[in-house]
Amino acid sequence: MACEIPMNSCIDDAIIQKIFRICKNIAIIGLSPDPTKDSHKVAKYLQDRGFKIYPIYPKEEMILGEKVYRSLLEITEPIDMVDMFRKPEIANSLIEEVLQRGDIKVFWLQLGIVNNEACAKAEKHGLIAVQNKCTKMEYEKVCQR
């Protein structure tokens, strides 16, 4: 996966605006309890703007005041978006969980994370796939005007 070029460069501001309009419940894959980590900063930012976050992390019981799950499949509430902060190869197994759930609309890989195979599979199943973009930066750009 190293040095892979994102295939979906057609994700424009209108699509990003639509994503934030239709997505209210966001599972943050790899949400660190460490406030200095990007995943924590982004999740807190989204939470502060009214999004319901669902932390996915292998340890901890609570992060940012929310129950921590070990897997996307443990969450019983509807999820609109997954926002992944893990190594690119994790996206291959994550997309399988996303498709198994059936309720997720957006498959988002954070800035610096590219997995064309997983994103192509997401799009093939009707999801919006975004990669190599930061949800916080994109929200600031298109929703804070």
**The predicted structure's pLDDT at residue 5:** 56
- Mean pLDDT, residues 107-117: 96
The pLDDT tens digits for 5-38 are 556 556 889 999 999 999 999 999 999 999 999 9
Q: What is the pTM of this model?
A: 0.92
Q: How far from 69 is each of 63, 74, 87, CA to CA, in Å?
A: 10, 6, 18
**The predicted structure's pLDDT at residue 11:** 82
Could you give the domains of the chain?
13-143 (3.40.50.720)
DSSP 8-state class, residue 33: S
Phi, psi for residue 53 in degrees, rounded to 5: -105, 150
Helices 135-143 and 13-22: angle between axes, nearest 10 degrees: 100
**The predicted structure's pLDDT at residue 1:** 39
**The predicted structure's pLDDT at residue 143:** 86
The pLDDT tens digits for 49-92 are 999 999 999 999 999 999 999 999 999 999 999 999 999 999 99
**The predicted structure's pLDDT at residue 2:** 46
